[in-house]
Structure 1
């Protein structure tokens, strides 16, 4: 059969830089590396954070580089002011437990990050969480308003242009060789990047399919501006029903295999991704997992004058309420009591998802990376994912990542300076050594 002369040319992926490690042991610094830089915070001393990261066996950090703020918004980022969302709101929620306000020069902060990484042998994966939550920590709505002002169809292109400007800036200052690859955005179908399209929470396959044209335009624009730099997008979980809809222009296959399993039981039973008005308080009270004095869910919101923050973060508001007011020990017991009913399925799903992801990457001829994942989004003070069950699941997932030939993987999304799991040095060293072993 003759080739169709009118068919579009086959996309030839841009390779990962030769200077990057043969395998990436990734630590998820996300947006915390600049949000959590106040007094006493885990990233107050970036050099110390980088040293501790390397000590645990990591060779790569994955960050929100705040590209839109720094190189796309037109805002003055020389004095970025960030703080907690408000009062005690979200103070017992992972990634949101900011304790101290911080003020910094955004571009200098970026250079400081790269300098710390250079000093400790770390590479960097550039990404953005800006259409999911980064701007919610700002003390003013300007950043969020600038993001929202971009038409949804144009957002991937705007990010591509901002990231290109950021890369040029980093290269001008001699750090370009530390960039492993770039992501247009984190979990592209789970946030405001997908505004106006099918809701990812109930129509996962449709959401992935509908988003593809937007993403392709952004990826093509990035390639126009940075033809020698690999770029991609990533997806929460592994969209096994819609792999066909992942853009052809990606250079790295990146997935976040959160299997949930036993956590799904709580998410569904307590409608944590629903609305506050429909929060099933009677069921939660019957489970006995709230702390004494928990208010009505509908009252657990930010003041009206900072209500824009509720839009700037996509985390489910019932989930924030539950995590803020949960009795962590009771929640862990709730999970342990039910885990045996989910264990086999959780391990089966993990293996299937990683096999599907590896097959997809092989078919495209591109490397495979797991940039987040494993069990799921647990309360800050719960230790299910840090405890004996979760730690063993981390080991299993790293072994499976190695088995399927992934270029990069994580110990766990919760293994980073701003999470309690950071104190389990041995687990992180062991998992990273396992992945790097021949």
Structure 2
């Protein structure tokens, strides 16, 4: 044996430190639960976010110390004539079906029965207070140019933000965040803000490229709030060309999904397209519940709701009517062919994000991950297989000095995965101990 081998001089001699500095009052590691817009669209009487104090206490008991939300800055502080709506926002979800159910009823994030009105200002104030009581910090983002508006009963919110000229949208978002942060200051809650994201997944939203106006707006917002971390959320960063991301992002808040076997199934059944002539095709029909209506019989949400979201009518129909057991069985059978590449993809993407952040001298976060978008009752990501993929990503992130990480995009009170309590406690303990 010999100690000499090619490349030995380039191997790190010590473990990786943090990717970049964070304010001293914030936790050294963030164990993040993703509450997105559901914290106000699933807040009717008896629903999971009706009692925010109980929700925050429960999250803290599972080991989380950070919650990532859509703070609805355009609705609350966009200066778009929506003040009355923000104080009395009627939640409808995607709307009632002719058969008596509601669109999105078995679709993750869209399973919103609605039927209530909410004061979003008051609900946010309650969340800030509950977060403080239970030792949680908040990652503030916006899903407004992606989907949250679609779950309101009135189109006013969507119509107001859609009327903003395309090239002005980042500026209007930055101005709204500026006003929201002033309001948060007035609540005495600035220290609870771990991160401000100008918008969630800017690359998958109704926004220009972040390099086309977004970077300038971010720079201005960061200059006005130098004590905060300000960034944009990137849904699918260019892992093979990370230099394409603009300089000036205050954090590398990127998402890591390795669809792999899930992508193979989605392409096979053509579930993410729109306007397909043969939808549902034979492969999807073989996976549907026996009593599934045809798409024409089921209908579709109101046209403005489909314009307000990046999810298609084919996805809504498919996820609402697929047999979740048959879906999972297909994934389980085919997964071994994809296992190695999915592990490699998760690892390489996490490393690319972490090392770009280290190069830029900013903290890195994995705000969403790990497999992808499944039906509400599909259990693949919650299974031992899915959890092993998640843990692989989490351990890679921790080893590379990533500041914050989700256990899984589905590990939140509005998803069935929340019931895997022992697993969440164990993995959150790992995250916070590194």
Please give the TM-score of this superposition, normalised by the length of structure 1.
0.90
Distance 2:20 2:125 in 1: 25
Write the deviation string for residues 383-419 of structure 1: whole angstroms up to 9, x where unpaired.
1111111122222221111111100001100000000
Alpha-carbon distance in structure 2 between the residues aligned to 1:28 and 1:135 = 18
Equivalent residue number for residue 270 of structure 1: 269
Structure 2 counterpart SS, 1:193: coil
Residue 303 of structure 2 corresponds to which residue in structure 1?
307
Higher relative contact order (CA 8 A, sep 6+): 2
Paired residue secondary structure (1:373):
strand
Aligned to 2:295: 297
How far has the Cα of 1:242 moved from its partner? 4.2
Q: What CA deviation, in whole Å up to 9, does each residue of 1:19-70 have, x standing for no partner?
A: 1100000000100111110022110100010001001100000000000000
The alpha-carbon deviation at position 95 of structure 1 amounts to 0.7
Q: Is the 8 A contact 1:123 1:178 kept in 2?
A: yes
1:14 touches 1:228 (CA, 8 Å); kept in 2? no
2:144 equivalent in structure 1: 130
| Distance (Å, rounded) in 1 between the aligned partners of 2:239 and 2:277 | 30
Match of 2:388 in 1: 392
The residue aligned with 2:236 is 237
Offset at residue 181 of structure 1 (A): 1.1
Q: Which runs of 5+ in 2 are unaligned?
A: 1-18, 97-101
1:57-72 to 2 correspondences below 5 Å: 57-72=63-78
The number of residue pairs the alignment matches comes to 408
More deviation, 97-106/400-409: 97-106
Alignment of 1:169-184 (within 5 A): 169-184=183-198
- Is the CA contact (8 Å cut-off) linking 1:276 and 1:298 kept in structure 2? no
Q: Please give the alpha-carbon distance, in whole angstroms, between the structure 1 residues aligned to 2:278 and 2:356.
A: 39
- Shift in Å, 1:241: 4.0
- How much has 1:193 moved relative to structure 2? 1.4
The reply on whether 1:35 has 2:41 as its aligned counterpart is yes
Q: 1:279 to 1:375 in 2, by over 3 A?
A: farther
Gaps of 5+ in 1: 1-12, 195-209
Q: Give the counterpart of 1:86 among 67, 91, 95.
A: 95
Q: Distance in 1 between matches of 2:127 and 2:117?
A: 15
Cα separation, 2, equivalents of 1:46 and 1:256: 26
Q: CA deviation at 1:358?
A: 1.1
Q: How many Å separate the matches in 1 of 2:377 and 2:55?
A: 21
**Compared CA separation, residues 182 and 226, structure 1 to 2 (3 A):** same
Contact 2:270–2:281 under 8 Å retained in 1: no
Residue from 102, 112, 126 that aligns with 2:126 = 112
In 1, are the aligned partners of 2:354 and 2:397 still within 8 Å (CA)?
no
The offset of 1:227, in angstroms, is: 3.0
CA offset digits 1:269-319 (Å, max 9, x no partner) = 222232133354233246x2101132333554435xx32011111113222
* RMSD after superposition: 1.7
TM-score by length of 2: 0.90
d(CA) in 2 for partners of 1:278 and 1:230? 47
